[in-house]
């Protein structure tokens, strides 16, 4: 079974770093999770795809091969990326952290827009990747159509903004 390791990269270099690492070491798979969000531009709302964790990729690799991959990164001085160490050693993310990310990104690798219903101060997810994950939702911005969630990575809480639309917005004026 392959573990996921965190690869810290220069913000905005996700695609090129992913490509270089994949070419450099074929025994690994680089996971570049993305999210679909709505964006306001000149009064129009458009859908865009952005990195889920800006400045981070995940390396799916066997525990036996991670040291070799790390050595190649250092040897070739791939300055765009380096593996994250914890207490002086390479540590994969926890299985439950990996499962949560896999559930969110689905088979396409993109966290799609979730549909929500809001009653009083309660947010209920009725459709989308956040369905059944209300416990990680922190807040919803109707204006920006964003759901703020808290996701643990390497036992550290990270806040992410995901796309979310109100199911029946006319009922909530």
**Domain residue ranges in the chain:** 3-172
Per DSSP bridges, beta strands 44-51 and 114-119 are unpaired
The full 3-state SS of 22-88, as one line of letters, equals: HHHCCCCEEECCEEEEEEEECCEEEEEEEECCCCEEEEEECCCCHHHHHHHHHHCCCCCEEECEECC
Please say if the pLDDT value at position 80 is more than 70. Answer: no
pTM, two decimal places: 0.87
Task: Name the CATH topology of 3-172.
Answer: Alpha-Beta Plaits (3.30.70)
Q: Which of 12, 94, 24, 25 is nearest to 57 (CA)?
A: 12
Please say if the pLDDT value at position 172 is more than 60. Answer: no
Band of pLDDT at residue 79, cut at 50, 70 and 90: low
pLDDT of residue 11: 86
Model pLDDT for residues 113-154, shown as the tens digit of each residue: 999 998 877 888 999 999 999 999 999 988 889 999 999 998
CA distances from 10 to 13, 16, 70, 82, 135 (A): 6, 10, 17, 9, 31
User: What's the mean pLDDT when you consider all of the chain?
Assistant: 89
């Amino acid at each position: 079974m392959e573990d996921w390791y965190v690869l810290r990269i220069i913000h905005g270099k996700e695609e090129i770093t992913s490509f270089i690492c994949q070419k450099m070491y074929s025994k690994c798979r680089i996971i570049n999770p993305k999210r679909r969000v709505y964006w306001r531009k000149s009064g129009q709302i458009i859908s865009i795809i952005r990195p889920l964790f800006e400045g981070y990729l995940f390396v799916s690799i066997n525990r036996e091969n991670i040291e070799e991959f790390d050595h190649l990164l250092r040897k070739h001085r791939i300055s765009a990326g380096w593996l994250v160490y914890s207490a002086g050693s390479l540590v994969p993310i926890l299985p439950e952290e990996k499962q949560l990310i896999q559930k969110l990104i689905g088979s396409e690798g993109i966290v799609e827009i979730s549909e929500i219903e809001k009653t009083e101060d309660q947010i209920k997810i009725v459709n989308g990747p956040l369905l059944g994950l209300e416990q990680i939702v922190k807040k919803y911005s109707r204006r920006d159509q964003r759901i703020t969630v808290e996701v643990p990575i390497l036992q550290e809480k990270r806040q992410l903004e995901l796309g979310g639309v109100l199911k029946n917005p006319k009922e909530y004026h």
